[in-house]
Chain A
Amino acid sequence: MSVVMAAAAAGLFSLGTWLLLQRELSRIIIGLGLIGHGANLLLLLSGGERGRPVFAGGHGTLADPLPQAFALTAIVITFGVVAFLLALAWRSVELTGNDLVEDDVEDRRIASQRGDHDEEVVDEQALLADQSDETTVSVHEEHER
C-alpha cells in the first residue's frame, strides 16, 4: 500500500469534484476524467504489492492480476462515458452556442411553489370546520327515496 499514491488518488478525486460542480459541460467532462483516473488508481492500490507483469509461469513476485482486469474495464468504460458526454456538449453548442448546463425550469417552478394550495390541506380545512361541536350537519348520501 503506497501512501503516496493514495494521496495522489485522493487529490484526483478532489480536483475532479471541483470540476464536476461547475456549470460548463466541458469542465464537468474533464472532472469526470480526473475522477476516473483516481478510481483506477484506487483499484490498483487495492491489490497486492507491485510485481512483474503477470504471465503464467513467470518468475519472481508477480503483480496482482485481478485489479488490473478491473482497471482495464474501467478505463474503457470511462472513455465511453466521456465520448457520450462530449457528444452532448457538441449538441449543446449547436443549439445554444455554448456548453452551459442551465437550470431545469420545471424543477425551479416546483421549488418556488408553496404548499398552501395542496389538496390535502384544503381537505383538512374542510374537516376542521366540521370538527367543532354544535355544528349543523348536512350530509346527504345517495338514498333511495
Chain B
Amino acid sequence: MLQAVIGLALLAGGRRLGRGAFAIGGASALAVLGWALWHRAGIVAGEPVTEHTGWVPQLGLALDLRIDAFSLLMVLLVAGIGALIHAYASRYFGATTPGLHRLAGLLVLFTAAMVGVVTTSNLLALYLAWELTSVTSYLLVGWNDRDARARAAALQAILITGAGGLAMLGGFVLIGSAAGTFDLTAILASPPTGARVEAGLVLVLLGAFTKSAQWPFSSWLPGAMVAPTPVSAFLHSATMVKAGVYLVARFSPAFAEQGLWRPLVLGVGLISMIGGGWRALRQYDLKRILAFGTISQLGFMMVLFGAGSPEATTAGVLLLFAHALFKASLFMVVGVVDHQTNTRDIRALGGYGPGWWWPRAAAVASGASMAGIPLFFGFIAKESAYESWVHSPIGGGGLVLVGIVAGSVLTFAYTGRLLLGAFRPGAAYEGIVAIEPLDPTEVAPVTEAPAPTWTLWAPAAVLAGLTVLLGVVPDLASKLVYGAAESLDPAVEGGHLAIWHGVNEALVLSAVTIALGLAMVAGGRVVGRIGRVVHVPFDGGAVYLGALRALNRTADRVTSVLQNGSLPVYAGVILLTATVLPGAVLLGADVPTGLAIDSSPGEWAIAALILAAGTAAATVRRRMAAVLCLGGVGYAMGLYFVLQGAPDLALTQFTIETLAAVLFVLVLRRLPTRFRERPTPRGRAVRLVISLLVGMFVFAFALIASGARTAPSLSGYFTDNALPEGGGANVVNVILVDFRGFDTMGEATVLVVAALGVVSLARLARPRSAAAGGVDGVDGIDGIDGIDGAGGADGLEPAHGEDAS
C-alpha cells in the first residue's frame, strides 16, 4: 500500500526530481526488502504472515495477505532486484532525460502490484494485482511515447496479457464457485473437482501462458524489448513474466492430476523452451537474444512446476531463483554496453577500451550460470531439474527429459552467442555470430568503447556475485529454497543443496549438455544455416496482427453502416434493437389464457375510429389533412377515456388536442401543402417491415404483460387514502398533486424547458428572404410579439437587441 502511495506521489509531483526520483523509489523497495528479511526466519520455518481486510464481502473479494516461504522468496527477488534497478536506472539515464519521474513512479507502482500478486491469497485480489502489473508494464514499455514501435509493442503486450488475464478471471470464477470460496489457501487445501473446474483450469493456464510469454503467445515479449533496459531487466526478465510461473507453481501440486493441466503445461513449456532457445540463436540484438532466452527459461520453469512432483517443484524454485539473479544481471550488463557504445548489435560489438573487466566478469559469471556450468548457481538448479525428471514416475517422463536436455543445450549455445558476440573482438567474422562476413558499411564496428563508471555496473556485479556465492556455497540458500518448495507442496522434504552428489545420471546429462553446447557454439555457421530453414511453427505474432487488422476493418464496416448520418437509419436501428431483443424473450413467454374478444360495441367503434384516423394520418399526402387526422385520433382517445371512467384524462386530451392542432396549423402554413418525399421501393419495404415488427411487438407485449402481474395492485391504497391523507375526493388529482407530487414537478420542469426552447427558436431572426413574406399571423405563436421587428435583423443574428429597442 505504501508503495502505491509513493508511486502515485512520484507520478504526480516528481517532475522536478529527475533522477532523484529513483532514490525515493529505491528506498521504498529497500523498505520492503528490509521488512521481508526481518520476518524471514519465521516464515521459512513454516509460519506464514497473514493479514485480513474485507473489501467487497458480497463478491468474496478481500485483501487477504498471506506470505509463506515461496511468497517470501518472490518478495525478496522483487524488492531486492527492484532496489538494484532503481540504483542502476539513476545512472543509466541522463540527468536531463524528460519523464524520469514518470518512469520511477511507474516502477514503484509496478513493484507494489507485483508484491500484491505474490502475497495475496484471494483469487479476485490476485487478478486485480495481476492486471495492475499488466497496466504498469504497458505504460513502462510505451514510456518513450514518441516511438511508434514502443507504442505498438506496449499495445501488443497489454492486449495479449490482458486477454489472457480475462480468461484467467473466468477460470478463477469457475474454480471459486465450484469450491465455494475465493480464498486460495482454502482452495489449494481441498481442491474442487469436476468438469467446471477442469475448464476453469485451462482458462487459468491461458492467463499464465500469456503472462509468461509462452508459445504461442510469446510474440509480445521480444517486442517489449523496446522498453528502456532497466525496465526490461526488471519486468521482462526477473519479475513480471514470472507471474505466470508463480501461478502454475501455486496450482500444480493441487491440480496437476486434473484434466488437461499437466499435458498442457508440459507441452507448452517444452515447445517454448526449445522454440525460444532456437530463435535466440538467430538474433543480432543482445536484448532480443535475452528475450528469447527468457521465453526458453520460463518454459523450463513451466515444465518443472507443471509436473507437480515434490522434486520437480524444488528444482523449479531453484531455477526461478537462479534465473532472476543471472537474467537481471545480464540485462544490466547489456544496458551498460548499450549505454557506452550506443548499439546492441553483436556484429558491431567487441572492441573495448580498458576498464571493462568488471562488467565483462559479471556477464560471464551470469552467463555461466545460465548455461549451467558448475560452480555457478544455475548449475545447481539444472542438476536438480535433471535429477527430478530422471526418476520421475510421470508418464512420458523420458520424453520430457530429452526435451529439457535439448533446451539446455540450446541455452548453452545462445549463451555462447551472447557472450562471444558481445565481448569477443572479431567474433562476427568467425561464424559464431553471422553466417556471412559482415559488411562494415551496414553495421559500423565499435572500437575502443569508453569504460563505464563503477556505479553503472555495480548493481549487475552484486547479482553476479550472488550467483557465484550461491554456486560455490549453495547450502546458504537451502533453508529458503526448501522452505519455499515445502510451502507449495507439503510433500517436499527438507534437505541441503550441494554441488557434488557423486557420479549419477544428472551429472552425466550435465556433461552431455555442456559438450553438445560447445559443439553448437563451435559449429555456429552450420547452426545458422539450419536456422534459416527450420522455423518455430505457428508464430502467434502473425495471428495477433491479423486479429488486430480484422478488428479494425470490422469496426470500420460497422461504423459505416450504423453511423452513416441518416436520421431514418438511426431511428430504424434503434427501433429494431428495441423490438428484436426484448421480442426474442417474449417469444418464449406464455400468452395468458382467457383472452376473449368480448369488447363492448363502444370499444369496437372507438378502436375502428382510432385505426382509421391513424391510417389516414400516416398515408395522406396533404399536410393539413394529416394533422387533422392526428387530431381525430386524439379525440377518439378522449372518447375512450370517457368510456373508461377517466373524465380528467378526457378533458385534458380534448384541451391538448385542440392546442396542438392550433400549433400545427401555425407552423404548417409556412410549409408546402403536400408531402414531397418519395422514398425508393426498397426504403418503403424496410420501413414497412420495421413498422410491422414494432406493432407486433407492442401487441404481444400488451397481451403477455396483462397476464404477468405478480404483486397486488396499489390502486386500492390510493382510493382509500385520497380523502383522509390527501384531502381530496378526486383520486387521480390527489395522486398527481400529492402522492406523486415530485412526478408532477418533473413534468412541469419538462414543460418549462420545452417552452424555453420553443421561445428561443421562434425568436431567432429569420433570413431576410423568408421574412419578406411578413407572416403576421405567426407572431401569435406562444404569445411572442416582436418577430416583425426581427425582419430587419441581419442574417441569422438573434433579434433580441432589436426587440429591446
Interface residues of A (CB under 8 A from B): 1-24, 26-27, 29-31, 33-34, 37-38, 40-42, 44-48, 50-57, 62-66, 68-69, 71-73, 75-77, 79-84, 86-91, 93-95, 97-101, 103-108, 110-115, 118, 120-124, 126-128, 130-131, 133-145
Contact = CB atoms under 8 A, between A and B. Distances in A.
Given A10-B702, A11-B614, A50-B645, A62 B565 contact: no
Contacts of A104: 565-567
Interface string B125-159: 00000000000000000001000110111011000
A55 B733 CA distance: 10
28 contacts: A11-B611, A12-B610, A12-B633, A13-B695, A17-B695, A18-B618, A26-B623, A26-B626, A26-B664, A41-B640, A42-B698, A44-B640, A44-B644, A50-B643, A71-B646, A72-B736, A93-B671, A98-B672, A104-B566, A108-B565, A115-B553, A120-B155, A121-B552, A126-B152, A135-B284, A137-B287, A138-B343, A139-B226
Given A17-B694, A44-B644, 19 more contacts: A11-B611, A20-B575, A30-B626, A44-B641, A54-B730, A64-B713, A65-B718, A66-B713, A72-B736, A76-B747, A90-B667, A90-B762, A93-B667, A104-B565, A105-B565, A121-B548, A123-B148, A135-B285, A144-B97
Interface string B426-457: 00000000000000001100000000000000
Contacts of A16: 614, 618
A37 B556 CA distance: 39
Given A5-B607, A127-B156, A21 B568 contact: yes
Contacts of A122: 148
B421 interface: no
Given A2-B599, A103-B566, A142 B667 contact: no
Interface in B332-360: 338-339, 342-345
A14 B695 contact: yes
B284 A66 contact: no
Contact of B736 (A73, A127, A137): A73
B149 A131 contact: no
B656 A111 contact: no
Which of A23, A44, A91, A141 has the most chain B CB within a 10 Å cutoff?
A141
B735 interface: yes
A62 B676 CA distance: 49
A21 B747 contact: no
A15 B691 CA distance: 7
A1 B670 contact: no
Contacts of A95: 766-767, 796
B206 interface: no
Interface string B485-516: 00000000000000000000000000000000
Interface of B: 91-95, 97-98, 144, 148-149, 151-153, 155-156, 219, 222-223, 226, 228-229, 279, 282-285, 287-288, 338-339, 342-345, 442-443, 541, 545, 548-549, 552-553, 555-556, 559-561, 563-568, 571-572, 575, 592, 595-597, 599, 603-604, 606-607, 610-611, 614-615, 617-618, 623, 626-627, 630, 633-634, 637, 640-641, 643-649, 652-653, 656, 659-660, 663-664, 667-668, 670-672, 675-677, 679, 687-688, 690-692, 694-696, 698-699, 702-703, 705-706, 713-715, 718-719, 722-723, 728-732, 735-736, 740, 743-744, 747, 750-751, 754-755, 757-758, 761-762, 764, 766-767, 770, 781, 796
A130 B556 CA distance: 27
B694 A14 contact: yes
A18 B675 contact: no
A62 B627 contact: no
Contacts of B715: 47-48, 64-66
Contact of A77 (B282, B555, B676, B750): B750
A63 B644 contact: yes
Contacts of B649: 68, 71-72, 75
Contacts of A103: 564-567
A76 B751 contact: yes
Nearest to A89: B667
Contacts of B641: 44, 71
Which of A17, A65, A142 has the most chain B CB within a 10 Å cutoff?
A65
Nearest to A71: B649
A106 to B, nearest CB: 7
Nearest to B156: A127
A93 B670 contact: yes
B664 A51 contact: no
B695 A11 contact: yes
Contacts of B607: 4-5, 7-8
Contacts of B653: 75
B152 A127 contact: yes
A114 B556 contact: yes
Given A30-B630, A90-B667, A115-B555, A3 B703 contact: yes
Contacts of B699: 6-7, 9-10
Given A1-B595, A12-B614, A48-B713, A115 B552 contact: yes
Contacts of B718: 65-66
A80 B732 contact: no
A80 B691 contact: no
A107 B706 CA distance: 42
A131 B284 contact: no
B729 A57 contact: yes
Contacts of A13: 694-695, 698
A83 to B, nearest CB: 5
A140 B555 CA distance: 35
B652 A72 contact: yes
A98 B556 contact: no
A22 B677 contact: yes
B148 A126 contact: yes
Contacts of B687: 17-18, 21-22
A139 B675 CA distance: 67
A124 B548 contact: yes
A55 to B, nearest CB: 5
B652 to A, nearest CB: 5
Given A48-B713, A120-B548, A123-B155, A110 B723 contact: no
Contact of B559 (A22, A27, A33, A111): A111
Nearest to A118: B552
B319 to A, nearest CB: 26
Contacts of B148: 122-123, 126
A54 B732 contact: yes
Contact of B703 (A1, A21, A98, A124): A1
A126 to B, nearest CB: 5
B342 to A, nearest CB: 6
Contact of B342 (A80, A134, A140): A140
A2 to B, nearest CB: 5
Contacts of B732: 54, 65, 68-69, 72
A34 B618 contact: yes
Contacts of A52: 645
A60 B706 CA distance: 23
A4 B597 contact: yes
Nearest to A42: B702
A134 to B, nearest CB: 6
Contacts of A33: 630, 633-634, 660
Given A21-B691, A126-B149, A141-B144, A101 B567 contact: yes
